[in-house]
Chain A
Amino acid sequence: MRLCGSAALLVTAALFAGAIVARSPWAAAADAPVRAAPVENAARIALGRRLFYDADLSIDGSMACATCHEQAHGFADGNSTHAGVTGEPGRRNVQTLANVARRKSLTWGDATIRSLEAQALVPIMGEHPVEMGMKGQEAELARRLGANACYGKLFRAAFPEAGGAIDMRTVTLALAAFQRTLISADAPADRFAKGEASAISLAARTGATLFRQNCASCHSGPDFTDDRFHCVAIEKSDGRDAGLGEISRRVDDNGKFRTPSLRNVAVSAPYFHDGASRTLEAAIRRHRGIALKGGQEARVIAYLHALTDETFLTDKRFAYPDEACEAS
């Protein structure tokens, strides 16, 4: 048992906060580019979208990527954690996929996973815990998808250089292509940053200032994450999840988790790596070193609500595809 982090970290955080205080979180949000997939990858994107919603990517056909990454929740989830196909409880809260093309690191506690193609293998084939349960089932996956005429056409269109091969490589390439199109840039806070003065409330504007002063040392940049791993929870670690230390095997990394993006955070409760914080209030209060007085917390939360991008949450290009095949 140890208290997550150290006083030294707080000193570092305080100094770091001083360095960023002059930068508005919304100023960055407006203009930062998200790497979009090239136009010539349209077939690959269409294939990836169909695969994203296809439960044949799980051993018993009951779980798709979209089972946990729901558009209405900003491609996160409404549960603390999500059990896998075997009923084994999930370990960590589902993170948003909004602007995931921009992430320099992926997953809550593994700094070595830096591509969406590699990340996709964690839920599909991982065993700690079992999520979709497809380890060792690559041939079965190819059999299932190959039996679908639409997939045959889509794989040929998406991967002509590979002769339309259906395998884990092409599946993860297509999934990644679709995920790179999940761009959220039309939240009220984005519109405010572009000069639409009435886009967010006065309370949210005040909250943005408080956010900048109290939160933006880690929740920085256009997606409100530094993509780094920190130890911020105030409670003692119970040893069940060492976070980054589980992979790095460094004691100093125990209890560190990746800073989550806050885009669409108001629709993706609960919070933290374990999903144990059910509300934004609880999540804020679980951070070390943050003490908001009086109505400050409510103003920060008003700002966090201004990060909800309804255009993104309802964009039909990201939704469960129609039955009609995209390829002829």
Chain B
Amino acid sequence: MTMLLISLALAVASAEAPATQAACPATSVALTAELASWSTPKPLVAAKSADATSDAALTLGQAADLALSPTPDMRYAIRPSRPGGSVSHGGMAQFIVAKAGIYRVAIDSAAWLDVIADAKSLESVSHGDGPDCSGIRKMVDFKLAPGRYLLQIAGNGAPKVRVLVTSVPAA
């Protein structure tokens, strides 16, 4: 018993304490250069089908507020792993990569997203939350070669989603 209590005392010092969540400041937080356009999005209407994305082109490094369509109206390029319910929204847009590297897709919701090439969803190389208090809900990174890609967003709770596709600086 004594040994148990000694162990307890030693272990307390190395405990991993639960993280606390700080309140966000009233003003917007500063973002790194690759995310800087997050607070100045441009409007864009997302496509309902893969063959209609020519009018829904994202510019790398420029955030966009994508207007989405009701999920029942969507004709996705591939079946999303999480398509969302009948009252959710989805959309597709294309972007072009000129230089090979790691590219990040940041969005302000928890919607399901696929980056598609050759009718296949690409595996992400990492994912995580956005910077605290930035409004970015999640960020997913992909290793991309030069070419044209389709961004497919599914199961969004709102009819609009903010999205930014941007290159990730080499570490």
Contact = CB atoms under 8 A, between A and B. Distances in A.
A274 B82 CA distance: 25
Main secondary structure of the interface of A (DSSP, over half): loop
Interface string A225-253: 00000000111001000000000000000
A285 B11 contact: yes
Interface residues of B, number: 34
B79 interface: yes
Interface stretch (B2-10, B27-35, B41-49, B94-102): B2-10
A291 B7 CA distance: 6
A233 B11 CA distance: 10
Interface residues of A, number: 42
B79 A235 contact: no
Contacts of A62: 84-85, 88, 109-111, 155-157
Interface stretch (B14-22, B59-67, B140-148): B14-22
B91 to A, nearest CB: 14
A276 B157 contact: no
Question: Which of B4, B71, B81, B109 has most A Cβ within 10 Å?
Answer: B4
A235 B15 CA distance: 7
Interface stretch (A50-58, A162-170, A255-263): A50-58
A277 B89 CA distance: 35
A20 interface: no
B158 interface: yes
Interface string A246-288: 0000000000000000000000000010101110001001111
A61 interface: yes
Interface in A139-158: 144, 147-148
B171 interface: no
Contacts of B20: 238
A323 interface: yes
Contacts of B24: none
A10 B5 contact: yes
B12 interface: yes
Contacts of B87: 56, 60-61, 144
B110 A276 contact: no
A14 interface: yes
A19 interface: no
B155 A234 contact: no
Given A14-B1, A291-B7, A56 B16 contact: no
B5 A60 contact: no
A148 B85 CA distance: 11
Contact of B5 (A7, A286, A320): A7
Interface string A43-55: 0000000000011
B86 interface: yes
Nearest to A54: B85
A285 B14 contact: yes
A32 interface: no
Contacts of A120: none
Contacts of A42: none
A285 B13 CA distance: 10
B8 A289 contact: yes
Nearest to B16: A282
Given A10-B4, A66-B82, A61 B155 contact: yes
Nearest to B158: A60
A285 B11 CA distance: 7
A67 interface: yes
Given A10-B8, A55-B155, A62-B156, A147 B86 contact: yes
A323 B76 CA distance: 13
B157 A60 contact: yes
Given A58-B85, A274-B18, A290 B1 contact: no
6 contacts: A55-B82, A144-B85, A144-B86, A235-B18, A278-B16, A288-B11
Interface of B: 1, 4-5, 7-8, 10-12, 14-21, 71, 79, 81-89, 109-111, 155-158
